[in-house]
Structure 1
């Protein structure tokens, strides 16, 4: 799982295995370890939430995705989901959850579990 954070925007990108695990098991998570602490990011399928929702607490970002939106995601052609979350401060938080495609340019990153890029023509 990759995350990209810029300002009030968070983008989660998932490999094929991660999408399968999320749809079958209901949650996935990863950690980035530092010297004295770790940063956790997780996605959880929710029957409670009607829209995507993110919280940050105790060094963890947790994204909730409604169960009805994600059912069948592993096998269908839907690329991803987006939502603008309104915050109590009056600000907004842009959320994007999407399948991770192989890059069109050369990269040293392992892309063996990424989705085939639809822009590559055979």
Structure 2
């Protein structure tokens, strides 16, 4: 799982095998090791929520999607889950959770466990 943070936005890219683990009820978690402590980030799903939730506690970012969102996302044509969560009266956290598509300019090894890029074979 890849993490990208910019301002009040967070984006996760999920590989094929990670999406299968989510489907099987597992939580996906990664860790970035820093000299002063670790940053952990996790993605899970729950039948007990209706919409994506986000939290940050003890150095861990946790995103949870609803089972309904996951079921829709498992469809081959669905690229991602996109939502905004209010964090203050005038501020929102933009959340993007997408399938990790193969890069068109990298070797096949770099593209292992990715989804087929919808633009592969298309001339620029």
Tell me, yes or no, whether TM beats 0.5: yes
Structure 2 CA distance for aligned equivalents of residues 59 and 120 of structure 1: 38
CA shift for structure 1 position 25: 2.3
CA shift for structure 1 position 35: 2.4
Residues 9-20 of structure 1 mapped to structure 2, 5 A cutoff: 9-20=9-20
Structure 1: runs of 5+ lacking an equivalent: none
Structure 1 runs of 4+ off > 4 angstroms?
none
Matching residue of 1:49: 49
Structure 2 CA distance for aligned equivalents of residues 114 and 108 of structure 1: 10
RMSD of aligned residue pairs (Cα, Å): 2.1
TM-score by length of 1: 0.88
TM-score by length of 2: 0.87
Residues 13-53 of structure 1, C-alpha deviation per residue, up to 9 Å, x if partnerless?
Answer: 01100111111124111111122421100011022322112
Matching residue of 2:65: 65
Q: Which moved more, 1:105-114 or 1:62-71?
A: 105-114
